[in-house]
Chains A and B, each alone.
Chain A
Amino acid sequence: MIRFENVHKSYGRHEVLKGIDAEVEKGQVVCLIGASGSGKSTLLRCVNGLEDYQAGGIFIDDRKVDAHAASIHDIRTRVAMVFQRFNLFPHMTALENVMEGPAQVLREDRKEVRARAEEHLRSVGLADKMDFYPSALSGGQQQRVAIARALAMRPEAILLDEPTSALDPEMVGEVLNVLRDLADAHMTMLIVTHEIQFAREVADRVFFLDSGRIAEQGTAEEVLARPKSERTQEFLRRVSHLL
């Protein structure tokens, strides 16, 4: 579904991605872990063309992602994104946020879009917050609206960049629960996360990124419980202190 072939990306002279080869299959949940600055966000942002890359290829069902081509708009409607800092539209209510994509970009029937948006908000537990503006919602609620906004596009995959990192600890659970439901429903997801426990639970596969390279990849069990690479072992030791 999402395939990386020898992807290289630099900011000026600084090479951030140094040849990424990997694949996310349909219906899989893949967690992307790695130290700060290892290039996790960059890799994710290349998938929907928020960043370009210089060499290699990223393919969504065999369509090459090119941030500068007109096709990128279509690709973005198929691969949704959830941000660390939510990025809800502050001048729209929760419901309007969720409706915006299908109504304005996909130009679907407004009535249908509305019904579906309400359904998505219900499914993330926000039936009573539909008419609230983002500023009146907690971080956890805002992130759930953002997930509903992504779902409303009926995407083939969702990219999530540290969806719980900006949340107060007591709100992390409610967002992870929503993601668990999505994983159970076999939504294809590529999730950058520091929640190792969560990754262990939901991930079909885990990619460990180390200074621009995938140092190790495999099932959650393989990478997180019995890591082969020394870098992975060291990283897991360090983050396990935080648990």
Chain B
Amino acid sequence: MAPLTERMQDYLPLLITGLWRTVAVSLLALILATALGLVWAMLRTSRNVWLERPARFIVEFLRGIPILVVLFYIYFVMPEIGIDLSAFQAGVIGLALTYSCYIGETFRGGIEAVDRGQVEAAKSIGMRHGKMMRRIILPQAVRIALPPYGNNMVMLLKDSSQVSVISVAELTMQGKMLASSTFDNMTVFTMVAALYLCLTIPLNIVMRQVELKMGKSR
């Protein structure tokens, strides 16, 4: 066998391609999941039961299904009803749907944790619901929801490895293929783990910094 450093150099380009794909899947899924999560949170904190109930049903429903099944469903079942998706698209959508529920619940928790007195103060200066949400409630809810949201981000990044089951060539998939062709399991998977850490550790550090900064103006 070639020396370790040489082998690592051989594997790196493939793994880096996978890493970028992981970043792309995660980032797109995060953006979609955040937007959709915000929608769930707004609906679930609405006073209108016709908005609240369906939203609650959808969220509970999605939360009760394993992410792998969601992915299989989107990738294999959708084409049968005429919606063709690439593995990449299916992966992003599956991840986004699943995580929109977690993120939505995180946001809802944040909104509900804002002191009732804030709603009354906002109403008392004549604010309407929408503006109150935008200017008073959400800015405070975001601060409260930020730490759990950061957790969601890291979890999503790690769970993006799940899309390898529908053959998206992200980091885990590339690792698996490399390992099975070289039988160099130890080196390959150590490198895969290290590359994930290269993403998750800085992410954690950034989140902590943001939390500290936000905490100051309270």
Residue A54 is within 8 A (CB to CB) of chain B in the complex: no
Residue B125 is within 8 A (CB to CB) of chain A in the complex: yes
Known: A50-B120, A91-B139. A135 touches B218 (CB 8 A): yes
Q: Which of A140-197 contact B (CB under 8 A)?
A: 149, 153
CB distance from B31 to the nearest CB of A (A): 24
- By the criterion CB–CB under 8 Å, are A76 and B126 in contact? yes
Q: Total A-B residue pairs with C-beta atoms closer than 8 Å? A: 62
A91 to B215, CA, bound (A): 10
- By the criterion CB–CB under 8 Å, are A153 and B125 in contact? yes
- By the criterion CB–CB under 8 Å, are A74 and B124 in contact? no
Residue A48 is within 8 A (CB to CB) of chain B in the complex: yes
Ranked 8 nearest A-B pairs via Cβ = A101-B125, A77-B126, A87-B121, A87-B117, A81-B124, A76-B126, A105-B126, A73-B126
- Chain A residues lying within 8 Å of B121, measured Cβ to Cβ, are 81, 83, 87-89
Of listed A73, A88, A133, residue having the most chain B CB within 10 A: A73
Q: Which residue of B lies closest to A149 (CB)?
A: B125
- Cβ-neighbour of B131 out of A49, A81, A105, A106 (below 8 A): A105
Of listed A100, A149, A153, residue having the most chain B CB within 10 A: A100
Q: Which residue of A lies closest to B121 (CB)?
A: A87
Q: Which residue of B lies closest to A90 (CB)?
A: B218
Q: Which residue of A lies closest to B127 (CB)?
A: A105
- Chain A residues lying within 8 Å of B135, measured Cβ to Cβ, are 100, 104
- By the criterion CB–CB under 8 Å, are A76 and B124 in contact? yes
A100 to B126, CA, bound (A): 11
- Cβ-neighbour of A73 out of B118, B128, B136 (below 8 A): B128
Q: Which of A101-142 contact B (CB under 8 A)?
A: 101, 104-106, 133, 135
Residue A85 is within 8 A (CB to CB) of chain B in the complex: yes
Residue B115 is within 8 A (CB to CB) of chain A in the complex: yes
Listed in ascending order, the chain A residues whose CB lies under 8 Å from chain B are 48-50, 73-74, 76-77, 80-81, 83, 85, 87-91, 100-101, 104-106, 133, 135, 149, 153
- By the criterion CB–CB under 8 Å, are A91 and B125 in contact? no
Residue B123 is within 8 A (CB to CB) of chain A in the complex: yes
Known: A76-B123, A133-B218. A87 touches B128 (CB 8 A): no
CB distance from A167 to the nearest CB of B (A): 16
CB distance from B75 to the nearest CB of A (A): 43
- By the criterion CB–CB under 8 Å, are A80 and B218 in contact? no
- Chain B residues lying within 8 Å of A104, measured Cβ to Cβ, are 127, 131, 135
Residue B152 is within 8 A (CB to CB) of chain A in the complex: no
- Chain A residues lying within 8 Å of B204, measured Cβ to Cβ, are none
A211 to B143, CA, bound (A): 41
- By the criterion CB–CB under 8 Å, are B136 and A89 in contact? yes
- By the criterion CB–CB under 8 Å, are A101 and B120 in contact? no
A224 to B208, CA, bound (A): 57
- Chain B residues lying within 8 Å of A77, measured Cβ to Cβ, are 125-126
Q: Which of B112-162 contact A (CB under 8 A)?
A: 115, 117-118, 120-128, 131, 135-136, 139-140, 143
Q: Which residue of B lies closest to A159 (CB)?
A: B124
A107 to B22, CA, bound (A): 46
A89 to B114, CA, bound (A): 11
